[in-house]
Amino acid sequence: MNELNGKIAAVTGAASGIGLASAEAMLAAGATVVLVDRDEKALETNCARLGERAIPLVINLLDPDQCAGLLESVLSKTGKLDILHANAGTYIGGDLMETDLDSIDRMLNLNVNVVMKNVRNVIPHMIERGTGDIVVTSSVAGHSAVPWEPVYSSSKWAMTCFVQTMRRQLLKNGIRVGSVSPGPVISALLADWPEENLRKAKEAGALIEPKEVAEAIIFMLTRPRNVTIRDIVVLPSAFDI
């Protein structure tokens, strides 16, 4: 399968979870992928395993200067960018009154502000080239108000709105914008789930693997250019909220 042959992609939060699975799937489809993460050791290990088309880029996206330099750093390694998968994010669950205020700032910065900045950073390059794909990792929590995760769910509702507005802004430029909205995925983020909810999900088989989300992303990226998958919800069959 070489449907992405010749394409250059950048994936944020690519050291593990959905980001890593997305990078692996794009590589398998023929793309060259810049894996962006702050975890230098994990990036080096994964890129060594994945081969020469996997390029590590160590960036702390919560550092404003490093975040602003995303496109410049990617172009210095690849010369162009066809695909941005804005995947980096974090999670907070539980009652709002028990949530640390600094954690709220960090999560909203990473889940909302960084995504907006990353997209703002890359679109002049894509507009100049007259083509591009932007995929944002959202969540089913961006479509349903989940009572045990008010901060996280709110951040993903923001992404649902952002993707729909940017799709409309950029369609005239040949740039497709869409989001993938998974249900619970087996990843490091589940470590912050309420213990009782995680136990019930595991017992019910209501979890999916990152690679199953990655397959949906490949589907989005490989449609004919006259087709945009605005949002795709990927749920474990046993999941219900």
> Whole-angstrom Cα distance, residue 194 to residue 92?
10
Point out the residues that are catalytic: 152
Nearest C-alpha neighbor of 146 from the set 135, 132, 131, 156? 156
**Residue 40 CB contacts under 8 Å (≥ 6 apart), including other chains:** 56, 58
* Crossing angle of the two packed helices 150-170 and 114-129, in degrees rounded to 10: 10
Q: What is the 3-state secondary structure (H, E, C) of the chain?
A: CCCCCCCEEEEECCCCHHHHHHHHHHHHCCCEEEEEECCHHHHHHHHHHHCCCEEEEECCCCCHHHHHCHHHHHHHHHCCCCEEEECCCCCCCCCHHHCCHHHHHHHHHHHHHHHHHHHHHHHHHHHHHCCEEEEEECCHHHCCCCCCCHHHHHHHHHHHHHHHHHHHHHHHHCEEEEEEEECCECCHHHHHCCHHHHHHHHHHCCCECHHHHHHHHHHHHCCCCCCCCCEEEECCCCCCC
